[in-house]
Amino acid sequence: MAAAFRKGALAPRADSPAPEAIGEPGRPARPRLVMPRDVPQRGLGSVEGRAAFLHAIAHIEFNAINLAWDAVYRFRAMPDGYYADWVGVADDEARHFELLSARLGELGFAYGDFDAHNGLWEMAVKTADSCLRRMALVPRVLEARGLDVTPGMIHRLRSNGDEASAAILELILREEVAHVAAGSRWYHWHCEREGLAPGREFIRLVREEVRGGVRGPFNRPARLAAGFDENEIAQLESLE
């Protein structure tokens, strides 16, 4: 689909019907979806533990594919650059999922072998009525969390001798900065159009919509590269 979009064979149409109400995306029968607290935590000292860890990341990437395509499908009459950004994000997320799936296979496992949760898609449902809210709360909260925690994940994998998995996460981290930056770009576009102060509105949305707030420590260089400013990061730190 991304290749078709780049060739001009897939494009928004002015006469398209209104988007359908958001529902559950297409997904395989497995993994079984459970509450976040019921997803088992395993150490990285065993092959199974590392596979479970990579499975959780693969599940995030799988949901990110659906999130990016829903951003393309759901929000109409946006500039061409918006659709190009989110088609590109969907393409990247699919590639990330394939890399993680292949690595799981090398470890003797497959996507679906471990339980997972549905938290990312639940936020998609909560923001289906507003592109501004979607851009603020999915890329700038949920995906930005990956910028903070992935360096530590890479270190833990290397400490356990898993260089191949660490290299995949390094690639994902580099590319996720651009994904969060796309969210920042279109969040600011909406704020400018609606006369809102981006920093103040973002913190308001986090306070109202993100249970438990946004936890640090924050990867400042990555967040700054992804469109956050120092004041936003300082205010996020004050919410902890």
pLDDT in tens, 47-102: 999 999 999 999 999 999 999 999 999 999 999 999 999 999 999 999 999 999 99
Q: What is the mean pLDDT of residues 192-220?
A: 93
Identify the CA nearest to 185 among candidates 129, 221, 227: 227
- For residues 121 and 27, the answer to whether their CB atoms sit within 8 Å is no
**Average pLDDT along the chain:** 93
CA 169 to CA 156: how far, in whole Å? 11
CA 122 to CA 194: how far, in whole Å? 26
| pLDDT of 175 strictly over 90 | yes
pLDDT in tens, 95-137: 999 999 999 999 999 999 999 988 788 899 999 999 999 999 9
Give 35 or 16, the one with higher predicted confidence: 16
Q: What is the mean pLDDT of residues 161-190?
A: 97
Q: Is the dihedral of CA 31, 32, 33, 37 positive or negative?
A: negative
Give the pLDDT confidence score for residue 86 in this predicted structure.
Answer: 98
pLDDT in tens, 221-239: 999 999 999 999 999 998 8
Instruction: Give pTM, 2 decimals.
Output: 0.94
CA 55 to CA 52: how far, in whole Å? 5
Give the pLDDT confidence score for residue 26 in this predicted structure.
Answer: 86
**Domains of the chain, residue spans:** 44-239
CA 88 to CA 12: how far, in whole Å? 15
CA 1 to CA 140: how far, in whole Å? 25
CA 178 to CA 160: how far, in whole Å? 29
CA 132 to CA 186: how far, in whole Å? 8
**Confidence class of residue 1 from pLDDT cuts 50, 70 and 90?**
very high
Give the pLDDT confidence score for residue 240 in this predicted structure.
Answer: 63
Instruction: Report the top-level CATH class of 44-239.
Output: mainly alpha
Give me the count of residues in the chain: 240
Give the pLDDT confidence score for residue 16 in this predicted structure.
Answer: 86
Query: Which stretch of 23-37, 51-65, 184-198, 213-227 has the lowest confidence by average pLDDT?
Result: 23-37
Q: Which long-range contacts (CB under 8 A, 24 or more apart) does 166-170 make?
A: 168/96, 168/99, 168/100, 168/103, 169/57
User: Residue type for 14, please?
Assistant: A
Q: What is the CA radius of gyration of the chain?
A: 18
| pLDDT of 29 strictly over 90 | no
**Confidence class of residue 164 from pLDDT cuts 50, 70 and 90?**
very high
**Confidence class of residue 38 from pLDDT cuts 50, 70 and 90?**
confident
Angle subtended by helix axes 80-106 and 47-74, to nearest 10: 160
